[in-house]
Structure 1
Amino acid sequence: MLTFLSIRDVVLIERLDLRFTHGLGVFTGETGAGKSILLDSLSLAVGARADSGLVRRGANQLAVTAEFSVAPDHPIRTLLAEADLAIDSAEAIVVRRVVTADGRSRAHVNDQPTSVGMLKRIGEGLLEIHGQFESHGLLDPATHRGVLDAFGGPGKAALAKTEKAHAIWAKAAKARQTAERDLAKARAEEDLLRHMLAELEALAPKEGEEDRLAEERSMLMNGEKLAEGLTSGLTALSEPQSVETALRQAMRALERIVPLAGQRLDPIIEGLDRAAVEAAEAQSQLEAVAAGIDMDPRRLEAVEERLFALRGLSRKHGCTVDALPALLADTRTKLEALDGDGDVVAGLLKAERAARQSYLEAARVLSKARQTAAVELDAAVAAELPPLKLERARFVTTLEELPEDQWGPEGLDRVTFLVATNPGADPGQIHKIASGGELARFMLALKVVLSRSATVPTLVFDEVDAGIGGATAAAVGERLARLGQEVQVLVVTHSPQVAATGRGHYKVQKSDDDKGGVGTTVRELSAEERLEEVARMLSGAEVTEQARAAAESLLRRE
């Protein structure tokens, strides 16, 4: 609920701070005293369109701050978290709006800057203003389905099942669409895939082949130099006698004198033996390498032709040569899958149809629950209309099945609240049929009926008593007070019967300020002041004893 409102430099209000409690609060005052300024300020705080004309003359900017207290689990806290404006669950929500004289606007939530659009979304969850010219909240047909679902408690389980069934259907439809799209793409590319496969199979690339071919090409290109070097190496190892022979001869000479030298020659003999073995191995490998050198120019041509073919194909397909074998396998897989994809799509289509049928069954149950709730809502509102001088009016909740492309998690129905103000007239949208006073009273009747399922904690009614008096005004006051037991209600009124039902009473008045100008002030009245204000509303300019007695009688019935 709204707990605090601070206004600075708005039209005739220079400085105003008001605190509020739960229940019904009434605002009274002479016509032109500035009650509309109060509502304009409150509207600005919750995201209404900024108007630089609201800035008080001589001021650089206006500022309006509103503090709301809401439950820790209120939906508005989820919205704040989604907007990265999360606050502690026990913390009040403070919205602030600043508008400069040149029309610029700034918005904050708990001192965190935000957009005016987000401020408006937050405000819609905190406050509703119902006046003669309002066209939001219950007057917006887009809200009617949610309102009916909140009113019809037993339909909540059906709504949850419908939402779950729709999610399953949507997932199945997406899977089928993806499979169809992939199949169509594969079939459109089938000729290209077959051409790719023929190219790759003809070349038959192997992993690591590029490095092997590059190495062989390098050897073939330098064959003469390699042969010359290898020959020189072999000559050094084998002529005039082999290195191994010389080492063996040295070993035999040393072995003959081992008995004379003791063990000091053993390491030397072992080293010569190892050297002889290594020399023989090296000579053997050199001979093998020399024998493997292909000096045929046709081999070089063949190696280069394959290497360049592999590299050309890799450039064509935008991959490395080493990735060509994987590309070949992938292309084969895609072509093999084409024959089986039709069966896959058929299976997905069958699953989608089954999910659609399950969704329809759940949605039909939800629609039936809504029809029951609609009858109950119409009857409840109808019972509230006669005391509000709307006995000739009818309230009708209509359900219309939407076209399939508009079915969603909330079901198949378009829900609309319609009214007919005269017998025999066709029902129409509330704000197009009802006059200003009738509109506010229709909203009051609806809010009284819906109060237990409402999530908006604060309701404001502007001149809900327009054009009525006597018993009808008393009925309006009684319903406002009853509504105030469920949510916080603030009402601007000219009716003493309505004013007398308030839990808190605020008087708006215009007076001369210290600077020779005119200003608007608002203050909460004491019990004695409240009696005088209700008496003034009853008698006019001169408050009589009879008016005071009548006012006291009204206040006793509070």
Structure 2
Amino acid sequence: MLAQLTVTNFAIVKFLELDLQAGMTCITGETGAGKSIAIDALGLCLGERAEAAMVRPGCDKTEVSARFLLAGNPAARGWLTANELEGDESEECIVRRVVSAEGRSRSYINGVPVPLAQLKNLGQLLVNVHGQHAHQLLLRADYQLALLDGFAGHTLLLSEVREHYQQWRQLQNELARLRAEQLERESRRQLIEYQVQELDEFALQPDEFEEIEEEHQRLANGTELLQECGSCIDLLYENDDTTIAGLLQLAIDKAEALAGMDSRLTTVLEMLNEAQIRVEESHGELRGYLDSLELDPERFTELENRLSRAISLARKHHVKPAELALHHQSLTEELARIGSDEARLEGMESELSQAREAFLTAAEALSQSRRRHAEALACRVSESMRELAMPQGQFAIDVVADRGQHLSPLGIDRVEFQVTTNPGQPLQPLGKVASGGELSRISLALVVISARQMATPTLIFDEVDVGISGPTAAVVGRLLRQLGESTQVLVVTHLPQVAGNGHQHMVVSKHTDGHTTETQMQPITQGDRLHELARLLGGDHITDNTLANARELLAG
């Protein structure tokens, strides 16, 4: 329920703060006073398009905030929880929108900045607005279908149908893609098969090319390695004349004598001993390497050939030799994918047929439910038409299932609202029979009846009673008041018969000082309400008769 609306610098509103109650609240005012301005501000707050022209002239921004009570609205509370936007008060939600003079806007839910799309999604769970042109929407087939589904509460059934439809369409698209690529895939398969076979025969392993290069280089330099290793060993330890090891031992002997004379030279002795250990270790390593070094001409030739073949294949496949093994693996995987796509193509017809049948089964269940609820809704609209000055009116909803052509995320049905308003006339499509006034009344009846089935806790009717007057207006007022017994209803109206049925009444007024204009809205007392109804009945000249008529409206 909308509990409070605060508007600052919106169009001709300087500041407005409204505390709203449950039940039916009527909003009236003189023509041109801006009766719908609070509704427009609320629409902006809940995600409607923002424009720079909405900002009051001379101001840098407009700001609108709305506080909602969430008791009895589990859908909104669930949405806030799912999106981690719960406020400090779990039973309340505060929505705010700020629009700059340049037309840029920012949106907030419980103080957290959010994208406009999130604001719109939440707004649909908080408020449902029915404007004065809603009856024009009634001629559209998609709106008729939405009204029927809203009345029937088809949320879960629609979700199931939509899910099956999307699965079926995804399979259709996949099948179309696989078929379109089949010729290209076959050509590619033939090429890759030859390439993979060639690379399979060579069977170069990951990192093998680097290992071959290293071993080939070692064998190519084998003679030099033997000579230089032997020379190094002689220098270190095995020369008959002078060796590094011998010179180091001489230095150690002298350092021992020096350290005995001055302990500060002990470190030098330790370093020389350590150097001698390193020389012995390096000698051992070189001796082991030299003993293991083998010069195998056959192995060298084998490596030479494999290295040359790897370079040749790499050049042929336009990759570096070191990348050839990885390229081989990539081609093998691509060949496997092509085979997988072909296997997938063979089994898709059956899978697609099963998906289509699953969709049609869900759509048929939805269609049957629509037909049942169409009868109930048509019966109730027919009753309301008779109350709304169409005594011979009859309303029907034709639900036609087409399993062949009319398949969509909404099912398989075409829905058409039909009506007759005169005896002897057959039922015909709504747009061919109903006049503008009749269409407005039928639209209002549908909205009121459907609204009772919907979970949205706040309903706004913005001059939906255009074209209605007299006894019919009184019936409309009673229908809206009955709706207000279970749902918060805000009604912008110019009809005293409607306004007199409200639980609360607010009046919009416009003031100007010759330089600026300001619109205000405020609740009125029972006494002021009597005069406002009298004004609606008779204009600015209020007489005893108009007051008496107004009193009757309030008493009724």
- TM class, shorter-chain normalised? 0.7 to 0.9
Paired position in structure 2 for 1:90: 90
Paired position in structure 2 for 1:267: none
Paired position in structure 1 for 2:380: 380
| 1:454-493 paired onto structure 2 within 5 Å | 454-493=454-493
Q: Distance in 2 between matches of 1:327 and 1:11?
A: 67
Q: Distance in 1 between matches of 2:94 and 2:302?
A: 82
Paired position in structure 2 for 1:6: 6
| 1:242-391 paired onto structure 2 within 5 Å | 289=293, 292-294=294-296, 296=297, 300=300, 302-314=302-314, 344-391=344-391
What is the deviation of 1:472?
Answer: 1.3
What is the deviation of 1:478?
Answer: 0.6
Q: In structure 2, do the counterparts of structure 1 residues 538 and 381 end up closer, same or farther at CA, with 3 Å as the change threshold? A: same
Q: In structure 2, do the counterparts of structure 1 residues 325 and 499 end up closer, same or farther at CA, with 3 Å as the change threshold? A: closer
Contact 1:440–1:461 (CA<8 Å) still a contact in 2?
A: no
Paired position in structure 1 for 2:499: 499
Contact 1:538–1:547 (CA<8 Å) still a contact in 2?
A: yes
What is the deviation of 1:38?
Answer: 3.6
Contact 1:169–1:355 (CA<8 Å) still a contact in 2?
A: yes
| 1:147-166 paired onto structure 2 within 5 Å | 147-152=147-152, 159=158, 162-163=161-162, 165-166=164-165
Q: In structure 2, do the counterparts of structure 1 residues 226 and 136 end up closer, same or farther at CA, with 3 Å as the change threshold? A: farther
Contact 2:385–2:391 (CA<8 Å) still a contact in 1?
A: yes
Q: In structure 2, do the counterparts of structure 1 residues 38 and 227 end up closer, same or farther at CA, with 3 Å as the change threshold? A: closer
Paired position in structure 2 for 1:63: 63
Paired position in structure 1 for 2:223: 224
Identify unmatched segments of 5+ residues in structure 2: 241-282
Paired position in structure 2 for 1:31: 31
Q: CA RMSD in A?
A: 4.5
Residues 456-481 of structure 1: per-residue CA shift (max 9 Å, x gap): 33222233443443321211111011
Q: In structure 2, do the counterparts of structure 1 residues 106 and 136 end up closer, same or farther at CA, with 3 Å as the change threshold? A: farther
Residues 263-304 of structure 1: per-residue CA shift (max 9 Å, x gap): xxxxxxxxxxxxxxxx9xx99996774xx424x5x8645523
Identify unmatched segments of 5+ residues in structure 1: 241-278
Paired position in structure 2 for 1:255: none
Q: Distance in 2 between matches of 1:48 and 1:490?
A: 18
Contact 1:176–1:348 (CA<8 Å) still a contact in 2?
A: yes
Q: Distance in 1 between matches of 2:380 and 2:457?
A: 21
AA in 1 matched with 2:380: A
Q: Distance in 1 between matches of 2:100 and 2:228?
A: 91
Q: Distance in 1 between matches of 2:208 and 2:467?
A: 96
Per mean C-alpha deviation after superposition, the further-off stretch among 126-135 and 158-167 is 158-167
Q: In structure 2, do the counterparts of structure 1 residues 409 and 75 end up closer, same or farther at CA, with 3 Å as the change threshold? A: farther
State how many pairs are aligned. 511
- Given the alignment of the two structures, is residue 453 of structure 1 paired with residue 453 of structure 2, yes or no? yes
Q: Distance in 2 between matches of 1:347 and 1:312?
A: 41
What is the deviation of 1:520?
Answer: 3.1
| 1:13-52 paired onto structure 2 within 5 Å | 13-52=13-52
Question: Helix, strand or coil: the match of 1:66?
Answer: strand
Contact 2:134–2:464 (CA<8 Å) still a contact in 1?
A: no
| 1:385-464 paired onto structure 2 within 5 Å | 385-391=385-391, 395-399=395-399, 401=401, 407-415=407-415, 417=417, 426-428=428-430, 435=436, 438-464=438-464
What is the deviation of 1:221?
Answer: 1.8
AA in 1 matched with 2:447: K
Q: In structure 2, do the counterparts of structure 1 residues 351 and 86 end up closer, same or farther at CA, with 3 Å as the change threshold? A: same
What is the deviation of 1:323?
Answer: 7.4
Question: Helix, strand or coil: the match of 1:93?
Answer: strand
Question: Helix, strand or coil: the match of 1:374?
Answer: helix
Paired position in structure 2 for 1:260: none
Q: Distance in 1 between matches of 2:319 and 2:372?
A: 65
AA in 1 matched with 2:442: F
Question: Helix, strand or coil: the match of 1:479?
Answer: helix
Q: Distance in 2 between matches of 1:318 and 1:299?
A: 28
AA in 2 matched with 1:499: A
Contact 2:139–2:430 (CA<8 Å) still a contact in 1?
A: no
Question: Helix, strand or coil: the match of 2:347?
Answer: helix
Q: In structure 2, do the counterparts of structure 1 residues 78 and 314 end up closer, same or farther at CA, with 3 Å as the change threshold? A: farther
What is the deviation of 1:309?
Answer: 2.4
Contact 2:418–2:428 (CA<8 Å) still a contact in 1?
A: no
Q: Distance in 2 between matches of 1:146 and 1:285?
A: 87
Paired position in structure 1 for 2:268: none
Contact 1:4–1:17 (CA<8 Å) still a contact in 2?
A: yes
Residues 314-365 of structure 1: per-residue CA shift (max 9 Å, x gap): 5665778687667657766876897897555333322321232233233223
Q: In structure 2, do the counterparts of structure 1 residues 191 and 72 end up closer, same or farther at CA, with 3 Å as the change threshold? A: farther
